[in-house]
Structure 1
Amino acid sequence: MELQLQGRTALVTGAAGGIGRAVAQALSAEGVRVALLDCDAEGLAGTAALCPGSLTVIADVTDESAVAHAVSAAADGLGALHTVVCSAGISGPVGSGIDEISLAQWQAVFAVNVTGAFLVLRSALPALRAAPAASVVLIASDSAYVASPGMAPYCASKAALVQFGRALSVDLAGDDVRVTTVSPSIVDTAMSRGDLGDDAFAAPAFPVQSGEEIAAHVVYLASPRARAVNGSGILSDFGYSARSGFPA
């Protein structure tokens, strides 16, 4: 399918690795010129080498002034901004009940996963509104819909991100800017391996997705082909959330 992305532009956060890197590569392969945002300069350089003609902007998505400067530089460097993909995220404490989690740990998860997307998109809105058929894709998680023990901050933050996307789609309904989400189950990334351990991926007892598979969803949702998809997205979880626990 021709996705009508040739010659368009995109800003991808969390682009130094994982899903963000895979998204940047997939968009670049479709003829999109990408700006790559992350706080990891070395990782960004590695992604940039895989995306011809890309720009890099270094910023921590929790830093309001740094984000404003980076987004402005990206929009100016690209000449237009058709798409923003918010992929920056952290898992925070895993395997801990809320009585074991500090306020600082809780706030750190929300600062990256939710407030970071808010800051990036607030700065990007003028450029998105000026571009034809603009789109926003938020990388959420199936943890927005189902929960695993010891992951309350992450689950709550991803649920907030999904609802932020819905609310933003309503606010931007008259501006020709669509907002969608991709909510994957476990993806084989450095973050997931850090949470679960490499051994869990050697012979996994659960289905695992690749970053490239998630990137394919993002590329479609970012494209004009998905013009009717707004305020919703793709729950990519192998059908797990559809199954009842009723013992029948």
Structure 2
Amino acid sequence: MQIRFDDRVALVTGAAQGIGRAIATALVEAGATVHLADIDVEGVAATAAAIGAVPHAVDLGSAEAAAKLVADIVAQSGRLELLVHAAGGVRGQVGRPIEAISEADWRVIFAANVDSAFFLAQAAAPAMKASGHGRIVTISSGAGLRPSLTGIQAYSSAKHALVGLTKQLAWEFGPHGITVNSVAPGFVRSNPATERQWESYGPEGQKRLIEGIHTRRLGTPADIAAASLFFLSEQAGWITGQVLSVDGGRS
């Protein structure tokens, strides 16, 4: 099965590095016109230059920012048909007891992982509905399907909410030719935050983690990109509201 996106316009958020960058690279290689969005100004510019994409430096925590981003893309490329929301993350909040989590800590995680996904879908809906075609993929997490690590209260809650949003959008957008699905990665060493998390486990903790994975290896950004491209493809046109765990069998 060959997956191509010639003449399609795509947006990938969280694309300065890691999983987002891998998805954007795969889309470019498959023929899409790709726009990248990230809060990291220098990182998103460097990624865009390296892969041949269009950079947008933006914080997507507000409806206004999301609406402007989509409007800019439509103005430049004429349409928007593919959306992958890979932005988010733990924002350094790992391993802390619930008593140490401030209201600001809680809200910043939801803004990055859930609010931005809602605002982007809201902004992209008119263009996708008008064309009668759309694919939206959210990058959730195994932590959004079950309890996992101690000390990621806000992150786990936000990813559970993102899964719920994905399923609700699938129901609402389905009649308009728009599918909405989610990829839930297992542990992937994809950026400095996950590298620090990996190192914090120590040799014994790392060994236990890998032994709990059927395939006995960690995932890579390319593993997540491959699953995302399938959901974005024409071949997945009758698949919506689904969450695909890409975790080597750990789940």
Give TM-score scaled by structure 2 length.
Answer: 0.90
Work out the CA distance in 2 between the residues paired with 1:201 and 1:7.
47
Work out the CA distance in 2 between the residues paired with 1:28 and 1:198.
35
| 1:94 Cα deviation from its structure 2 partner | 0.6
Q: 1:220 aligns with which of 226, 230, 235?
A: 230
| 1:200 Cα deviation from its structure 2 partner | 5.2
Within the alignment, does 1:65 sit opposite 2:55 as a pair?
no
Within the alignment, does 1:97 sit opposite 2:107 as a pair?
no
Amino acid of the structure 2 residue aligned with 1:171: E
Work out the CA distance in 2 between the residues paired with 1:73 and 1:58.
12
Work out the CA distance in 1 between the residues paired with 2:179 and 2:201.
39
Task: Report SS of the residue matched to 1:172.
Answer: helix
Work out the CA distance in 2 between the residues paired with 1:132 and 1:29.
25
2:199 equivalent in structure 1:
197
**Is contact 2:44–2:55 with CA below 8 Å preserved after alignment?**
yes
1:11 equivalent in structure 2:
11
| 1:146 Cα deviation from its structure 2 partner | 2.3
Within 5 Å, which residues of 2 pair with 1:1-248? Answer: 1-52=1-52, 54-92=53-91, 93-147=93-147, 148-190=149-191, 191-197=193-199, 204-205=206-207, 206=210, 207-241=217-251
| 1:199 Cα deviation from its structure 2 partner | 7.5
**Is contact 2:19–2:222 with CA below 8 Å preserved after alignment?**
yes
| 1:203 Cα deviation from its structure 2 partner | 9.7
| 1:145 Cα deviation from its structure 2 partner | 1.6
**Is contact 2:14–2:86 with CA below 8 Å preserved after alignment?**
yes
Task: Report SS of the residue matched to 2:238.
Answer: coil
Q: Tell me how many residue pairs correspond in the alignment.
A: 240
Task: Report SS of the residue matched to 2:135.
Answer: strand
Work out the CA distance in 2 between the residues paired with 1:227 and 1:133.
10
Amino acid of the structure 1 residue aligned with 2:238: A
Q: Give structure 1 stretches of 5+ with no counterpart.
A: 242-248
**Is contact 1:4–1:225 with CA below 8 Å preserved after alignment?**
no
Amino acid of the structure 2 residue aligned with 1:2: Q
Work out the CA distance in 1 between the residues paired with 2:247 and 2:103.
30
Task: Report SS of the residue matched to 2:51.
Answer: coil
| 1:213 Cα deviation from its structure 2 partner | 1.1
Work out the CA distance in 1 between the residues paired with 2:100 and 2:47.
36
Regions of 4+ moved over 4 Å = 198-203
Q: Give structure 2 stretches of 5+ with no counterpart.
A: 211-216
| 1:67 Cα deviation from its structure 2 partner | 2.1
| 1:75 Cα deviation from its structure 2 partner | 2.0
> Percent of aligned pairs with the same residue?
32
Q: What CA RMSD, in Å, does the superposition of the two structures yield over aligned residues?
A: 1.9
| 1:2 Cα deviation from its structure 2 partner | 1.9
**Is contact 1:140–1:183 with CA below 8 Å preserved after alignment?**
yes
| Cα offsets for 1:47-78 (capped at 9, x unmatched) | 112322x2212210113322221121012212
